[in-house]
Amino acid sequence: MVRETSLELLMSRPVQERADAARNREKVLAAAARLFAEKGVDAVSMDAVAAEAGVGKGTLFRRFGDKAGLAVALLDDRERDLQQRILSGPPPLGPGAPARERLVAFVRAYLDFLFAHLDLVRMSETASPGARYRIGSYWFWHRHVAILLAQSRGGDADVLAHTLLAAMQAELADVLQTEYGRDRTLTALTTLATTLT
Amino acid sequence: MVRETSLELLMSRPVQERADAARNREKVLAAAARLFAEKGVDAVSMDAVAAEAGVGKGTLFRRFGDKAGLAVALLDDRERDLQQRILSGPPPLGPGAPARERLVAFVRAYLDFLFAHLDLVRMSETASPGARYRIGSYWFWHRHVAILLAQSRGGDADVLAHTLLAAMQAELADVLQTEYGRDRTLTALTTLATTLT
DNA sequence: GCACCATCCGGACTTTAGTCCAAATCAGCC
DNA sequence: GGCTGATTTGGACTAAAGTCCGGATGGTGC
């Protein structure tokens, strides 16, 4: 389990790929993006993605592991962008602002990202049991939140960081959005973040 | 979606069953309990349960809907017990204590229940996507927490109740237990509950 | 006891995720 | 260009969830 790692290390890329592998990776990502946009994430099987990409199923799974891995790969760019803004962007999301303001900015920015890609994130979190806690980016968000909480309150920061992230998981966000709308959801989660600092 | 219902209504039972149906229900529950105890929840397929119960697969699914439904049925007794203690047991879990104390008592009691049946609850929450928010008991817990929060803080109680419950979902509890142990987990969640009131 | 109909049963069937390995392909080196 | 060994490929295969429907079974009214 990833633990004492720096935020930067949590963003590292896999090693070099062979040329045909890289080509197929692109074909698969393009095909998946196309199909998901057209039919919706849940209505597309892995077979369909493989067929649309003109690639065998084995290739698909070797490259992305499972459905969650495919979703992660599709989200990668957007996620890295947010991560960069946290690491070195302007405050209050980036360094420089007080912990409480950074945390609120993070909640807002993360929810923006989440609602913009709700289906994909949901797939990345629930495609296989426990998937959420095996994804590298989860531990990036966790570390960031835990550090901010530790700065502003001390004890229990690690556990409380998990609970704040649990409140922003895709499946719940979907329910909250449907039941109460995005505004109330954002307001309440901001309240939660503020209360915790 | 269940909404404006009283807590009592959320506990209602299905209608009367035919005799053979009731017999098979018991056979299935007994077989499932046996197999789960012996091999672990994750290593038992629905076919295996059907075979062990001496019943067809169709029967199994007709009766319990899916794997999550089977888990819910197995947890039913324990869950109803906790629900009864909330509705009419002694304070601070039951009525009579101040909202904050009732909420802390609930968190403690729910985590006891959760850790005692972690695998089954995890299955009931994750066997199918969104399962957690379709289970009747989830809405029982939600209503209880939301009422307590509304009493002690006002606005946003409904959304915040969901976030507190999200912090106690089985998959996360499993991670927290492994990473930090049950004591720290309980402490942090108690802090969270207190902070929210 | 008997007939009737709603309900239930069970296993064959479909669909999908994920595995496996023989054959094809690539990249570096002579 | 041609050899060589590591890597990748692709589709047949397995396993498991969940559906379907012809036939069996149970309760009820007489």
Binned at pLDDT 50, 70 and 90, residue B166 comes out as very high
User: Torsion angle of alpha carbons B100, A142, A175, B145, nearest 10°?
Assistant: -10
Residue-wise pLDDT tens digits, A37-48: 999 999 999 999
> B6: which residues sit within 8 A by CB, 6+ positions away?
none
Interface contacts (A, B; CB < 8 Å): 88
Residue-wise pLDDT tens digits, B39-50: 999 999 999 999
* Closest of A29, A30, A32, A69 to residue A49, by C-alpha: A32
Residue-wise pLDDT tens digits, B68-92: 999 999 999 999 999 999 999 998 9
Q: What is the CATH number of domain B66-196?
A: 1.10.357
Name the pTM for this structure: 0.90
Name the residue of chain A whose CA is nearest to B187's CA: A156
Residue ranges of chain B assigned to CATH 1.10.10.60: 1-65
H/E stretch holding B55 reads none
Residue B98 region, left (φ>0) first, then alpha (ψ -120 to 50), else beta? Answer: beta
Residue-wise pLDDT tens digits, A113-151: 999 999 999 999 998 888 999 999 999 999 999 999 999
Burial of B80 (0-12, 13-18, 19+ CB in 10 A): middle
* Closest of B9, B186, B11, B12 to residue B110, by C-alpha: B186
Name the residue of chain B whose CA is nearest to A180's CA: B159
| DSSP for residue A89 | S
| Cα dist from B142 to A184, B116, B154, whole Å | 17, 20, 15
Q: What pLDDT score was predicted for residue A22? A: 82
Residue ranges of chain B assigned to CATH 1.10.357: 66-196
For the residues B172-179, what does the mean pLDDT come to?
A: 96
Per the omega criterion (within 30 degrees of 0), is the bond before B92 cis?
A: yes
Quote the CA–CA distance of A7 and A85 in Å, as a whole number.
13
Quick one: A1-65 is in which CATH superfamily?
Homeodomain-like (1.10.10.60)
Q: What is the mean pLDDT of chain B?
A: 90
pLDDT at B4 over 60: no
Quote the CA–CA distance of B159 and A113 in Å, as a whole number.
20
Type of residue at A119 = D
Q: What is the mean pLDDT of chain A?
A: 90
Hey, which residues does A184 pair with through a beta bridge?
A: none
Site from B118, B134, B159, B172 to mutate, A interface, most A CB atoms within 10 angstroms: B159
Helix ranges, B8-156 (H): 19-39, 46-53, 57-64, 67-88, 99-116, 118-126, 136-152
H/E stretch holding A118 reads helix A118-126
**What distance in Å separates residue B159's CA from the closest CA in chain A?**
6
Residue A28 region, left (φ>0) first, then alpha (ψ -120 to 50), else beta? Answer: alpha
Contact B163 A132 (CB under 8 A): no
Q: What pLDDT score was predicted for residue A13? A: 41
Q: Of residues 18 to 47 in chain B, which lie within 7 A of strand C by their beta carbon?
A: 18, 20-21, 23-24
pLDDT at B17 over 80: no
Let me know: does A165 contact A28? Beta carbons within 8 Å.
no
pLDDT at A6 over 90: no
Q: Give the pair of three-digit tokens for residue A116.
A: 């913009």
